[in-house]
Amino acid sequence: MSFLQQKWNEHQSKPMRRYSSQREFEADWVSGLRRRYRLSQERLAALASVSVTTVQNWENPTSAKRIAEHNQDRLRDIERELWIKAHVTLLEPCPPYIRALHELMSANRDGSAQGLADYLVTCMDARDTGRARLLHWAGLSYSIADPASPKARAYEEAALRSLGTGNEGNDSLAAAIENEILGAQFEDLLALPEGDARRDKGRQLMRACQRLFQRDQQPAYLWNALEVACRAPLEPGDRFGLVNELQALLGEENVRRRVQAEAPYQAARELVADSMLAAPATLN
């Protein structure tokens, strides 16, 4: 079965939107790949070793010419390479088992990577300073195939909880892992269509950012939480509480200026347009 035929079958089992034909779906998938990783048609053409005209035909739902199977295989590999580049970093020092997981994922052997990750998590002592990193990679081994995987979410949440205990040992390494986890989760959030799954993911990520703020008292984590609440989007009350807390920390004018100037906070602008916000809420 060709790559895009498999994608089409998966779409039909849980459709996110309606397509008039499989060809329309394929055209939207290719253009969606470019949007997701911010590629121009010229850049995708170079990666796939085809002409720009060929990419334009791929993205044209009225084109009668199907995408050749060998080009579908290349698109599959390109998607995987881009995902790994966006979500995975071999931070040094890098244990051998992390390198093994990276090699399995790069070789399109997700089942083997997941099996190894599950085994290592079971064997590793809960007090091991490398546990947060392993839990993060276990989550990656599942989310590379399915960003909405419940097991991927469970592993990433466990990784953030482990980091929250301060049990990673090396502070700079812990911070790098923490940022990688949050970055990967945010990318996965933006890739989800509007709906309950996106809001659920956003709520989990917002709470993770809030927990990290409670631990380190770094305002950047609250700004991250506010961006998640705006982009998910979550309930107005979530945005209201975060804006109030940021104002208590940084001052009303500083928060208003940034929210009004930066696009990710657009959904919170109505909260800072009026200076008569309620007294800041207190996080429990």
Indicate if 145 and 200 belong to the same structural domain: no
**Report for 81-90, 103-112, 186-195: range of highest mean pLDDT:** 103-112
Residue 282 pLDDT: 43
Residues 36, 63: one domain? yes
Residue 283 has pLDDT above 60, yes or no: no
Q: Is residue 113 part of a domain?
A: yes
Domain boundary among 29, 64, 85: 85
Separation between Cα atoms, residue 123 and residue 108, nearest integer Å: 24
Residue type, 201: K
Confidence of residue 169 (pLDDT cuts 50, 70, 90): low
- Domain span at residue 211 reads 192-284
The pLDDT of 96-102, averaged and rounded, is 95
59 and 96 co-located in one domain: no
Identify which of 231, 192, 229 has the alpha carbon closest to the alpha carbon of residue 207. Answer: 229
- Distance in angstroms (rounded) separating the CA atoms of residues 89 and 66: 36
Same domain, 162 and 210: no
Q: Considering the domain boundaries, does residue 131 fall inside one?
A: yes
Residues 117 and 96 placed together within one structural domain of the fold: yes
pLDDT of residue 167: 58
32 and 55 in a single domain? The answer is: yes
| Start-end of H helices in 14-68 | 22-36, 41-48, 52-58
Residue 99 has pLDDT above 80, yes or no: yes
Query: Which residues, at least 6 apart from 255, have a Cβ–Cβ distance to it below 8 Å?
Result: 243, 246, 247, 272
Between CA 148 and CA 93 the distance in angstroms is 30
Residues 197 and 281 in one domain: yes
pLDDT band at 170 (very low <50, low <70, confident <90, very high): low
Last-in-domain residue among 41, 59, 85: 85
Domains: count for the chain: 3
Same domain, 11 and 69: yes
Please indicate, yes or no, whether residues 270 and 221 belong to a single structural domain of this protein: yes
pLDDT at 17: 76
Dump pLDDT digits (tens) for 186-198. 888 887 888 898 9
Residue 51 resides in a domain:
yes
More confident residue, 185 or 107: 107
Q: Are 12 and 76 in the same domain?
A: yes
**pLDDT (average), residues 133-151:** 89
User: Is 185 inside a domain boundary?
Assistant: no
Residue 256 has pLDDT above 90, yes or no: yes
pLDDT digits (tens, 9 = 90+) for 12-61: 777 667 888 889 999 999 999 999 888 999 999 999 999 999 999 999 99
Identify the domain boundary among 53, 85, 117: 85
| Mean per-residue pLDDT, 270-282 | 58
pLDDT of residue 277: 44
Task: State the pLDDT at residue 78.
Answer: 94
In a domain, 184, yes or no: no
The verdict on 72 and 119 lying in the same domain is: no
Best mean pLDDT range from 112-116, 216-220, 272-276 = 112-116
Confidence of residue 254 (pLDDT cuts 50, 70, 90): very high
Say yes or no: 281 and 244 in one domain.
yes
Q: Is residue 187 part of a domain?
A: no
Residue 180 in any domain: the answer is no
SS3 call for 254: helix
16 inside domain: yes
User: 63-74, pLDDT tens digit by residue?
Assistant: 888 899 999 999
By percentage, how much of the chain surpasses pLDDT 70? Answer: 92
26 exposure class (CB count in 10 Å sphere: 0-12, 13-18, 19+): buried
Average pLDDT score over the chain? 87
Q: Which residues contact 6 (CB under 8 A, 6 or more apart)?
A: none
- Note the pLDDT of residue 110: 93
Give the model's pLDDT for residue 115. 97
Contacts of 4 (CB under 8 A, 6+ apart): 25, 26, 29, 67, 72, 75
Q: Please give the residue that has the higher pLDDT: either 211 or 122.
A: 122
Could you report the per-residue pLDDT of 228-247, keeping only the tens digit for each?
999 999 999 999 999 999 99
Q: Give the predicted TM-score (pTM) of the model.
A: 0.69
Could you tell me if 262 and 230 are in contact, meaning their C-beta atoms sit under 8 angstroms apart? no
